[in-house]
Amino acid sequence: MRRSISLYGLTFSLPMLIWQLVFFVAPLVFLIALSFWTVKNFKMEPDFDTVNWVTMYGRSVFWQSYGLTLALATAAAVITSILAFPCSFAIAFKLSPKYRQWAIFLMVIPFFTSYLVRVYSWQIFLSDNGIINGLFAQVGMGPFPLLNTVFATMIGYLTLTFPLVVLLQLFSLIFIDRTLIEAAHNLRCGRIRTVFAVVIPSARVGLVIAALFCFILSFGDFVSPVYLGGGDPTTLSILITDTTKSGQQWPRAAVIALTMIATLLAVAFAAVGFAYKGRTK
Amino acid sequence: MTGIIRPSAGFTRRTLLATGAAALAMPMLGRRANAAATELTMLAWYGHAEPDMVAEFEAENNVKFVPKYYTGGDNMLGLISQSPPGTYDVILSDAEYVQALNAAGYVEELDPNDYALADYFPEFQNFPGNWADGKLFSMVTRFGFLGVAYNTDALTEAEAANYNVFWDPKLTGKVGHFDWHLPNLGQISLLNGNANPYDIDEAAWTALKEKTMSLRPQIGGFFDYGGTFSSLNDGQMLAFCGIGDWITGVLEKSGAKVKSVIPEQGGLQWSECFSIGKGSAKADLAKKWIQYITSAKGQAKSAQMAAYPALIPNQKGWEVLQAENPDEAKRQGMTKDAGNAIDMIRAGRIKYRQWPVQQGLEDWNDFWSEYKGA
């Protein structure tokens, strides 16, 4: 039987509803409308013309950028999840509650500084005359091209998402029922096997959600591909700025943005579906 | 002895009251003085409304500039088109966008008699884009040349004085692009031997695209304003396409080993022009500003703008600069010596940066995106 919504419940959920309507639904509707507008003499004019969709979807550079951005974000999600897991595992299972609190605090600290500043500071480490190549030079190696590469872009994605992924994984690992791990050990399950057979399946929801957040943030990031990747190759976020830079083509940029939103929604639904697959109440 | 403090001799009750009243009124007077400063809105590239440029004018005219900085002509047109008339009193625009401003009716007509046009070099008195149907709509205020920017440790001036240097194997992965199609493609068009780099037929356009694509393996990155500065400054990029002294001049001043040279195939010219925004309620004050910045004194200031230096079209401005800062005048080539900036223009070595004539702007932009993605 369907429950009726009480006034009490409605009052408390109303701010969220209003927030979603004002800051998500309304801009999204406008973005959809904008994608059908036309541009004449640098001026946007309300219209209903599919020319922007036809033009953008007909360009090979768009699909090239799309594939590349998808691949980069997927790689970032996988790499960050793999690198973050030992860290969150150690914090969850090896540290005392007191040190665990400190570790969580340390993971929150990066959010105190601007992401742009952190990315710029990486340039000092990664440039040909930077700190890392300086260390290589001490042992007669290098310089290696680190800055303006896909590697540097990935470092930027890690800078953006690593602390968040660790925290999300951690909150999932902390709440694993310890008796399951003890039972596995009692049944002569080795430590590594316990991780793969008990810990990871038990924390699946948190691990998938963490990877999903990493994917979402990396997929739309503009800062790392530009300031660490040197704008080469072109990601979708760079393509949006390129599109608006010449000829005021905001409607075409809207097509790219909507495609990105659709992709993120599809990935998010798939990831959440996978995370909760086989779960009962 | 009592503790009574007596006023000093001559300090009467009347003076006490008068002084007290004056002291109380001071903040109000100060507030009135501040409130009286007229706000003048300026839409411009970064730097034009900074204190090194406007402080003197603000003090002399009790004006306070309220700048809105943009990053590119399209951005500027977008801001104007989305604002009601009169939002911007003064508009600074790149020359190629002035015609668009004009066509859309975003700027007021100027009276040529109001400005020191006679002091300008003849080449700039009838500057293209400033005039339409014999009417003046904007005043060119500064310009600069685009050539090859290079790291002086990596290349000699003789090596850099040819656009082919971008294809030099020792620069693989070390050539940067300022991320805008117009100056980059214009320079490669010059290398291809096009007399007017932007007025090219389909065959020349195809050849330009092919030549540009052949440069792609050499490219280390596509940079915005900040990225261009940092990648040249830290030696990450050793040569740069699409820029000139407006970037390297700033870096040179801070000791970086970079320089710009106009190659043997010629260079491009960027130009900035001031206009009065349509519907400005402070058009008189805006006119006064343009008079100031195009005068000899204002021009010398403009040449040395902290954000990025530039050449100036006012001959008397050159004289002021030579007297005030002879080193900078020499560095930028604004001296009476042969081969100075005006001589380069007169020798035909410099072409205006402009919108493509035979192709659409969209065609050039689309190709640029393809080139970046290649």
Q: What is the CATH number of the domain that holds B201?
A: 3.40.190.10
pLDDT digits (tens, 9 = 90+) for A198-211: 999 999 999 999 99
Identify the pLDDT of residue A242.
87
Closest chain B residue to A226, measured at CA? B223
A148 touches chain B (CB under 8 A): yes
Range of the domain at B117: 36-143+270-336
Q: Where are the beta strands (DSSP E) in chain A?
A: 38-40, 43-45
Q: Are B156 and B52 within one domain?
A: no
Q: Between B72 and A83, whose confidence is greater?
A: A83
- Determine contact, residues B296/B320, Cβ cutoff 8 Å: yes
Identify the H or E element spanning A121: helix A115-126
> Taking the domains of chain A in order of start, what are their residue ranges?
60-275
Q: Are B164 and B308 within one domain?
A: no
Is residue B10 a part of any domain in this protein? no
Please give the interface size between A and B, counted as residue pairs whose CB atoms are below 8 Å apart: 102
End-to-end CA distance of chain B: 96
Residues of B near A (CB-CB distance < 8 A)?
Answer: 72, 74-75, 77-78, 81, 100, 103-104, 173, 176, 179-181, 219-224, 227, 230-231, 234-236, 361-362, 364-366, 368-370, 372-373
Identify the pLDDT of residue A11.
80
Q: Do A246 and B368 make contact, defined as CB atoms within 8 angstroms?
A: yes
Is residue B346 a part of any domain in this protein? no
Q: How many CB atoms lie under 10 A from the CB of residue B77? A: 22
Low-confidence stretches of chain B (pLDDT < 50) are 1-11, 27-33
Q: Do A230 and B104 make contact, defined as CB atoms within 8 angstroms?
A: no
The answer to whether residue A129 scores a pLDDT higher than 90 is no
Identify the pLDDT of residue B226.
86
Output the six-digit token pair for A107. 């993971």
Helix, strand or coil, per DSSP, at residue B304: coil
Q: Do A230 and B231 make contact, defined as CB atoms within 8 angstroms?
A: yes
A232 touches chain B (CB under 8 A): yes
Q: Are B244 and B361 within one domain?
A: yes
Q: Are B265 and B179 within one domain?
A: yes
Closest chain A residue to B217, measured at CA? A232
| Domains in chain B, number | 2
Identify the pLDDT of residue B21.
55
Which of B111, B160, B158, B159 minimizes the C-alpha distance to B139?
Answer: B111
> Average pLDDT, whole number, for chain B?
89
Q: Are B237 and B364 within one domain?
A: yes
- Determine contact, residues B300/B320, Cβ cutoff 8 Å: yes
A60-275 topology per CATH: MetI-like fold (1.10.3720)
* Partners of B63 in the β-ladder: B38
Q: Are B139 and B156 within one domain?
A: no
Which residue from A61, A123, A129 is facing B373, i.e. has the nearest CB? A61
Is residue B14 a part of any domain in this protein? no
Is residue B7 a part of any domain in this protein? no
Q: Are B262 and B234 within one domain?
A: yes
Q: Are B151 and B298 within one domain?
A: no
Read off the pLDDT of each residue in A41-59 and give the average, rounded to a whole number. 90
Identify the pLDDT of residue B7.
41
C-alpha–C-alpha distance, residues B278 and B91, integer Å: 10
Which residue from A41, A64, A248 is facing B103, i.e. has the nearest CB? A41
Which of A159, A93, A92, A100 minimizes the C-alpha distance to A125?
Answer: A159
Q: Are B305 and B278 within one domain?
A: yes
Going by C-beta distance under 8 Å and a sequence separation of 6 or more, which residues neighbour residue B246? B144, B270, B308, B309, B310
Mark which residues 44-103 of A lie under 8 Å from B by CB. Answer: 44, 59-61, 64-65
Which residue from A130, A230, A245 is facing B74, i.e. has the nearest CB? A245
A152 CB neighbours in chain B (<8 A) are: none
- Determine contact, residues A77/A209, Cβ cutoff 8 Å: no
Q: Do B221 and A232 make contact, defined as CB atoms within 8 angstroms?
A: yes
A245 CB neighbours in chain B (<8 A) are: 72, 74-75, 180, 365
Q: Are B100 and B212 within one domain?
A: no
B209 CB neighbours in chain A (<8 A) are: none
Is residue B177 a part of any domain in this protein? yes
